Structure 1
Amino acid sequence: MSRVFTHNFRRIAPLCLTVISLYYLYVHVPTGEIIHDKTILYLPTSTCDITPSLQEVFVMVKTGACEDYERLITQSKTSLQCVPSSSIAYYSDLEEQVGSIHLRDTFNGSVDQWYIDTDDEFILYKKMLEQGSCKGITKEDMQAADPRKGLNGNNDNRGWNLDKWKFLPMADITYSLQSNKKWYIEIEVDTYPIWRNVFNFLANLDHEHDYYIGSPMFVAGVAFIYGGSGAIISQSAMRKVVDHIRENTTDLQKFTHDNWAGDHVMGKTLKDVGVGHTTMSREFVRDSTIGADYSFHWCTAALSFHHVTAEEAVAFHEFETQWFGKFSTQIMRHKDIFHGYILPQLEGLSTEIDWDNNARDDASNHPHFNSTFESCKEICLAASDCVQYRFAYGKCYTTKFPQIGRREPYSRSGWLPDRARKWADDHKPCTRNDEEWSPHNQ
């Protein structure tokens, strides 16, 4: 455990020690008896007083057979612990049982057998079927021979290429299971939804209207919701898109094959049936709780985070439980998370090796920089608005915005905690006139 999280863990240790225990997870899959030994953190069920609202939604969790099961189980015991079993389904590459969690083979019976037999994107799927699990899959197995051009360049990961085929079948299967839910919410195993805020927001909307909500991206003139931080689809929109999927399976599977991302495929399919998207980039955060830029969000509500590790999910779940225990009728804004969760961690930091605190302003040309960590610190100290700094590959970076960041080899980070607190205190207090939500329909 890094010193960053060690500080946070010590802060909550007295309560955590009474509720955290270790156990081993044994998995039996239909294609063979495979045992996975995993030591994970277990959190017992809380009061779950939001369960009635959760019964109005259906949660689609997208994962993969090569996913770290520790993260999967931890999510089920933190952000998803109160979701009724009738309101959730896990969509993966293989049919597996992970403890009490049933993973569906999303492709079997949903994707045309011709693609499975002939398309190189299903080579990894067929190998996992033969082996009965992801165990034994090598780095070479994950390497695609013909990488597709994606948003971030050539994508040579077969797992990613396979993942895009899950989105439309997920919607079709889910609607077959539960067609009467008001809202359908798609997340990944490293997404952390803040359910009280989600339901406070949805209470203002009519599920019989068309909604496709989240943080958008744009490719080739098509807007789609970034799946990592979650997407919300209303009952009306879900009904339209599933009817379209069933009536145009052949064309849509060809479109899936020709494109690089499943959330792009879903966005285009919804657009084809007349469903636009609702932009909520500030509420659906594409980064983790410790990596987010809170200066951008501050007075708006937090609905979800992405890239949340198992360790981070446990720590944030403890904070969330305590915060809503004190302020059960309030909406948690980003400033509340910064003051109550981020700042206490920052105040315990000085420097960290192999850590990227997201300082990005290049100060390497400063006349006093001599390619050392110490000179980078001095540059930050000399600038009154600098709150933290980073030294990596012989270069110095500073920033005006306090963040924790994440592990990164060959990067050394430093913080000025007193300035981080001043930065937070200098923000004007959020008032009732400040928008908690910032939806923008397009």
Structure 2
Amino acid sequence: MLTNPFSRPTRTIILLVIFLLVGMYFYRPVHQVPRAFPHLDTHTLHHYLNRSEHVQRPLALMAKLQKHLQHTDCVPETKVVSSITHHYRTETKTNTVVSTMTQTALLQPTCDANIDAPKVTKEDATPEQLTVAKLRDEGIIIIFKAGAQEVSHLAIQVGTTLRYLSSHDILFFSDQQGSIGPFLINDALRNVDQKLKNDHPDFEIYRQIKKYQSTGQDILELQEDKKKGDGRSGWKLDKYKFIHMIEETFEMRPDAKWYVFIETDSYVFWDNLAEWLKRLDSKKPWYIGSEVSSNGVSFAHGGSGYILSNAAMNKLLGPEQPQGLAASWDSRMKDVPYGDLALAMALKEKGVPLTVGHPLLNGYKPSTFTYGLNNHWCQPVVTMHHVVPHEVSSVWRYERQREQLGMANTTLFADLYSHFVEPHLVNARDNWDNLSHGPTYSQQLVDELKKQQADVEKKKEDEEKKRKEKEEKEKAKENKLKSTQVKNALEINTHGAKNEIEPTPKNVQDPKDEKPKQETMGKEDQTGKEPMKAVMDESNLEAKKADAQPDDAETEESKKLDLKDVKGIDVGEDDVEGEDEKSKDAHEKDAGKEARKEDVKREDAGNSDDNESAKTNPADDLSPASHNDLSGLSKRGDPPKPRIAQQQHAHESFEKCGEACEEEAGCFQWVYYSKTCKLGSTFRLGKYVKPSDDGKVVWKSG
């Protein structure tokens, strides 16, 4: 029997397949297959073309925005000049087209930073806004100098300390033209002699910056290591900016009363600055700064900030002065190490001397300020230096907290100590340098001082021995002379008695001729037996005494000079014994001045936080005061011994260094590293110092 190909199971399967295919066709994703020519909806198109919102809505929005930004130049002023309506009529529909003409004002070269700063009364203004008003009332212009690689660091300043200042209040100068927020950055080197910029090696970094800028590369890649200090290319280039920056500033703001020049890592207390300059006369030639010196010339340290009055600027660059000052200095800069030194020299040539503004203008910050006895606790702070971005934020927030607490008084050094230093003081801290300044002790220095003491003591013993031998010889000579005189007197008396009894024979010599006879006998005795020195010494005694007197004086004087040449040793002379306290205080003050000068040099070198200082010779940091503190002789002849016995062992451990500080009068803190102990007669918070790669040099502060 033949089988039916369309049997029940087969038929069922075929029907299911057909059903699935039909279902897939009707429910296929049509949206994924767009039409090449979509159907034109005439009603929707007519509604879109005839609506008026596409014109009125932007105009209303712009008017609202213009009203909101009426106090700024950032948005151009837009006015509707004319509006023409055209009507097109067809059989069934009317189309309306509105044509609008507008007139746009030209943009200003720069925009004000105070986007949302409407004019407010003094009652409504914040203390920060009132401070900015004070700066404007006093005619103060702020000038920032920054390196091209440091411009990004200005962002924190623009967002905090400069947020209410406009482009009329502040100018920026750098190695390249650019901008930061709403402010324009001027190229301070654009007017330097072109041949100098093309050929001089100091401008190599400037040529690289221009190349990076033209090719869109990141200039931060040119940033150099701070460990190089003065050897950095940017540091060599920096000195050419100063006088050109001064000249361009005066061209752009000739009517300002005060010109305040600061750097990227400077911080300014604006209220203190305004209150200070209010007390000075801008019509007098003021050149104010924190004094440092080089080659015998005093100048204002650029990082600490310096101030020029309008009168000083006119003396330097006024219409009555020869033009082209900056250009004339381009050729001279190769012989000047610093730009701020060149500025001081230029001002000095015009008869404008430096006025010292320290400690108001300061090269330190809260962690490096020197705190101690008579250290400006109640002095106001105007500027600080080496302030990194996160510290700028911290100090700015501290100022705002003072405002909220109603503390309208001047910010003092004591205020910064209470907020930034005192809460962080601990008994001991690892990997930390508290920047102690004072006597330094190490094994090398102790050995050196012991050797100096031994040499001085040996010299004194030799001189004492020679003196005693000389005294003994002189005594022997005097005794012989006396015995000779007695003998002669006896002989004279004997001969006188004989003359009274009997006449003198012809062959007997007169007593007056006895002395020449004895001299003759002495000469004859020299051929054989001992010479008669007493007779010879008698004739030369007075001459020898006269010669001996100046010799003794010279010996005593040379003794003083030799002993004084040895540092730190109490010479113990009768006339210089027991140095008084006043001379010691003066000596310590001189040592402190030297330490402050050394700090300024360290800060100009970059104030790097590396371990290079651990590699330096501790003897280089030793001040004369440290030698005096180590040892001293109370009396002549006493054995040399340290004034404080513990100081001999201060370099052996951190604990012994602390014991030496406890025994040292006026010691506040100490730091120990690499078998070296430094005591501090003042104290600082200090900075972090990472240990050496081998872990052998670890700084520890107490």
TM-score, L = length of structure 1: 0.74
SS in 2 for 1:224: strand
**Which residue does 1:393 correspond to in 2?**
674
**Alpha carbons of structure 1 residues 370 and 137: separation in structure 2 relative to 1, 3 Å:** closer
**Alpha carbons of structure 1 residues 167 and 399: separation in structure 2 relative to 1, 3 Å:** same
SS in 1 for 2:298: strand
**Which residue does 1:213 correspond to in 2?**
288
Given candidates 290, 295, 307, the residue that maps to 2:386 is 307
* Letter aligned with residue 279 of structure 1: V
Question: In the TM superposition, what is the alpha-carbon distance from 1:200 to its structure 2 partner?
Answer: 1.1
Question: In the TM superposition, what is the alpha-carbon distance from 1:280 to its structure 2 partner?
Answer: 1.6
Structure 1: runs of 5+ lacking an equivalent: 1-44, 144-153, 416-442
**Alpha carbons of structure 1 residues 371 and 115: separation in structure 2 relative to 1, 3 Å:** same
SS in 1 for 2:366: coil
**Which residue does 1:237 correspond to in 2?**
312
Alignment of 1:300-339 (within 5 A): 300-326=379-405, 328-339=407-418
Distance 2:413 2:699 in 1: 27
Q: Which has the larger radius of gyration?
A: 2
**Which residue does 1:372 correspond to in 2?**
653
Q: What is the CA deviation profile of residues 274-322 of structure 1, one whole-angstrom value per residue up to 9, with x for unaligned ones?
A: 2112112221111122101133322222111111111222222222332
Distance 1:370 1:236 in 2: 55
Question: In the TM superposition, what is the alpha-carbon distance from 1:203 to its structure 2 partner?
Answer: 0.9
**Which residue does 1:88 correspond to in 2?**
170
* Letter aligned with residue 318 of structure 1: R
**Which residue does 2:687 correspond to in 1?**
406
Distance 2:415 2:128 in 1: 22
Question: In the TM superposition, what is the alpha-carbon distance from 1:383 to its structure 2 partner?
Answer: 4.6
* Letter aligned with residue 224 of structure 1: F
Higher relative helix content: 2
Alignment of 1:233-382 (within 5 A): 233-243=308-318, 244=321, 246-295=323-372, 296-326=375-405, 328-346=407-425, 349-361=426-438, 362-364=440-442, 365=446, 366-369=647-650, 371-382=652-663
Q: Which deviates further from its counterpart, 94-103 or 203-212? A: 94-103
1:97 lines up with 2:179 in the alignment: yes
Query: Would the aligned equivalents of 1:50 and 1:82 in 2 still touch at CA under 8 Å?
Result: no
**Alpha carbons of structure 1 residues 75 and 263: separation in structure 2 relative to 1, 3 Å:** same
* Letter aligned with residue 350 of structure 2: V
**Which residue does 1:167 correspond to in 2?**
242
**Which residue does 1:5 correspond to in 2?**
none
Alignment of 1:182-201 (within 5 A): 182-201=257-276
**Alpha carbons of structure 1 residues 394 and 76: separation in structure 2 relative to 1, 3 Å:** farther
Query: Would the aligned equivalents of 1:351 and 1:414 in 2 still touch at CA under 8 Å?
Result: yes
TM-score, L = length of structure 2: 0.48
**Alpha carbons of structure 1 residues 165 and 329: separation in structure 2 relative to 1, 3 Å:** same
Q: What is the CA deviation profile of residues 312-333 of structure 1, one whole-angstrom value per residue up to 9, with x for unaligned ones?
A: 2222222233235546542222
* Letter aligned with residue 146 of structure 2: T
Question: In the TM superposition, what is the alpha-carbon distance from 1:59 to its structure 2 partner?
Answer: 0.8
Question: In the TM superposition, what is the alpha-carbon distance from 1:98 to its structure 2 partner?
Answer: 3.5
Distance 2:208 2:666 in 1: 54
Query: Would the aligned equivalents of 1:51 and 1:84 in 2 still touch at CA under 8 Å?
Result: no
Query: Would the aligned equivalents of 1:62 and 1:91 in 2 still touch at CA under 8 Å?
Result: yes
**Alpha carbons of structure 1 residues 72 and 393: separation in structure 2 relative to 1, 3 Å:** farther
Distance 2:223 2:257 in 1: 42
Q: What is the CA deviation profile of residues 331-375 of structure 1, one whole-angstrom value per residue up to 9, with x for unaligned ones?
A: 2222232234322232xx343333221113314452443633343
SS in 2 for 1:294: coil
Question: In the TM superposition, what is the alpha-carbon distance from 1:219 to its structure 2 partner?
Answer: 2.3
**Alpha carbons of structure 1 residues 391 and 59: separation in structure 2 relative to 1, 3 Å:** same
Given candidates 63, 74, 86, the residue that maps to 2:146 is 63
Distance 2:127 2:700 in 1: 36
Distance 1:212 1:186 in 2: 11
**Which residue does 1:74 correspond to in 2?**
156
Tell me: higher relative CO, structure 1 or 2? Use CA pairs within 8 A at least 6 residues apart: 1
Q: What is the CA deviation profile of residues 207-236 of structure 1, one whole-angstrom value per residue up to 9, with x for unaligned ones?
A: 111111111122233321111110011111
Q: What is the CA deviation profile of residues 258-279 of structure 1, one whole-angstrom value per residue up to 9, with x for unaligned ones?
A: 2111101111111122211211
Question: In the TM superposition, what is the alpha-carbon distance from 1:376 to its structure 2 partner?
Answer: 2.8
* Letter aligned with residue 62 of structure 1: K
* Letter aligned with residue 212 of structure 1: Y
SS in 2 for 1:102: strand
Distance 1:138 1:300 in 2: 37
Question: In the TM superposition, what is the alpha-carbon distance from 1:382 to its structure 2 partner?
Answer: 5.0
Distance 1:102 1:268 in 2: 30
Distance 2:151 2:656 in 1: 40
Distance 2:154 2:700 in 1: 30
* Paired residue total: 356
SS in 1 for 2:292: strand
